[in-house]
Amino acid sequence: MKFILSLLLCIAVASVMQGKPKEHGPRVETLLAAMTLEEKIAQMTQVDYTAIQNNADDVIKYSLGSILWGGSSEIKDITAPGWAAVYDSLQRLTEKTRLKVPMLFGIDAVHGHNNVNGAVIFPHNIGLGATRNAKLVGRVARATAEEVRGTGIHWTFAPCVAVARNERWGRTYESYGEDPALVAELGAAYVKAVQGTKLSDKTSILASVKHFMADGGTTNGVDQGNTECDEATLRKIFMPGYVAAIKAGARNIMVSYNSWNGVKMHGNKYLMTDVLKKELGFTGFLVSDWAAIDQIDKDYKTAIEQSINGGLDMVMIPNGPGTHNNYVEFMTILGALVKENKVPMSRIDDAVRRIVSVKYDMDLFGNPYTDAKLTAQVGSQAHREVARDAVRQSLVLLKNEGNVLPLSKKAKAIHVAGRGADNIGMQCGGWTISWQGAMGNYPDGGTSILQAIRKTVSKGTKVTTSADGSGAEAGDIGIVVIGEEPYAEMKGDREDLTLSKDDAAVVATMKAKGIPVVVVLLSGRPLIIDPALQASTAFIAAWLPGTEGQGVADVLFGDYKVSGKLPHSWARTMKQIPINIGDKPYDPLFPYGFGLTYKK
């Protein structure tokens, strides 16, 4: 009899997974009923690739529910075909599990599929905020989705709908700007476009709206710090992005490291359950950030209990020093908490129901593997044209003395200086191939600003270059590309945002040659830019434009009329930071929304 019942159960589960009824609710419930406690907890467990790469059989042994590639979890072959091969090999292991539930695979594709060599890297969100163009953001999201699916992966940890309120914060460039309305509009546009008409489409991927909540409002801009404000302010400034994203169809939200008035978000039941799931009606699932539950309590068991009971559905288990990196430990402890009645089975079922429902939404049961046709589209010219347009629209003109811009393509000689002139890595910033990014001309397929200038000017124009500005007397005009070296979260926090002395010196050297000097600033936030601003003839905030430096040249030489508007108020001195629109007094160097246009 037990054998017959087991056989009938397997047939029932197989049939609901193979069928494609319009409503998959019954399929979810049938699958949930078939799962053991251990299999349910495995669905709530997300394992970092570096922890599983030498233990791949654990996918089968534990029926793991999800794998992620964290900031520094790259595979050996980081080309698109290389990523696709690893993805397919791991997903194929689920066919050997008892219930054959496919895994979710997530990655930080935050400005294009930025872990893939040869992929198109788009401007970081601060640049997209300067475009004020929701349709453009949608085009960027669509291209990103196609490239991510080209590697089999189907879940991006984006968009970030943080409202950055202090430029000291090292993740400022991940925010669309300081205004909640702008962030909500562009974040919703990204969610709609990246998820497509429906999540089951072959070119759609799951968005992860992050980081819930108020990560951009911490005291002194400290990453993972404490946001101190009343609930009315929390709702007014930091919640609109989530309201808009949920209305746009968001099915996943990532919880933030930061605290609100001393309480860690990962343990805040009021915000995760009462506000997000009940009040806002969020029906998707919540995923933790990297090892974030470890910060709730020194006792790991207590941290797990509080986070799961608080409303967390999936836990990201990293693989690194100083963290609880054993996914088996997590699953064992959570199982014990259920058996001890400290975590109710109803909470486990709710979490798994949310996760599995999204897997059905995505048609992972019916279409789990890479489409080779999409792999061939990674880094395509069509996607590069989208990125080029995004770069053009993101540039903000802060100064244009004597209407020196746009430049003539027929100038006799142009000298291009600065460490950012021929440096794609600096253009891209953090989250590019590696977590923190790096200087140098990579990823493959990109165009540096110097290369773009040479492609744009006439054959008779002589273009010379130097890092320090030497040799500028050979030019009729100088272009200086300066700014911040790449960085990402944690390492990007800065107490002093003053432009480096070396960068200021290059501008001064060029100015001393007696030629007009156009400064192009590559940065993830507004910097304190005097005296370089004073020494310049024209000054452009180019943010972190990504691989398509041709978009910068398009604006410099007038093939596209500059149109960007500041997504952040620009401070005169460090004493003014934080400075945001609506402050009293409000006396920035350049106000929120500032941006000159060409007069010729």
Catalytic residue ranges: 289, 489
Host H or E run for residue 69: strand 66-69
List Cβ neighbours of 436 (8 Å cut-off, separation of 6 or more).
71, 430, 486, 487, 488, 491
- CA–CA dist 82, 443 (Å, integer): 15
Give phi and psi for 432, each to the nearest 5: -135, 110
- Dihedral sign for Cα 149, 155, 157, 158, please: positive
**In 235-278, at which residue ranges do the beta strands (DSSP E only) sit?**
252-255, 259-260, 263-264
DSSP structural state of residue 117 = T
- CA–CA dist 143, 377 (Å, integer): 9
SS3 content of the chain, % helix, strand, coil (to 5): 40, 15, 45
- CA–CA dist 490, 3 (Å, integer): 55
- C-alpha to C-alpha distances, 74 to 49, 70, 218, 226, nearest whole angstrom: 8, 8, 30, 31
The answer to whether 149 and 196 have CB atoms below 8 angstroms apart is no
DSSP helix/strand/coil, 363: coil
Residue 118 CB neighbours (<10 A): 18
- CA–CA dist 435, 429 (Å, integer): 10
Helices (H), 395-520: 424-428, 449-456, 501-512
Q: In angstroms, how far apart are the furthest CA atoms of the chain?
A: 94
Cα 432 vs. chain centroid, distance in angstroms? 10
The answer to whether 114 and 432 have CB atoms below 8 angstroms apart is yes
Residue type, 499: L
Cα 223 vs. chain centroid, distance in angstroms? 16
Give phi and psi for 511, each to the nearest 5: -60, -35
DSSP helix/strand/coil, 48: strand
Q: Please report where in the chains the tokens 């984006």 appear, as a residue.
A: 158
Length of the chain: 600
Host H or E run for residue 348: helix 345-361
Cα 506 vs. chain centroid, distance in angstroms? 32
Give phi and psi for 209, each to the nearest 5: -80, 125
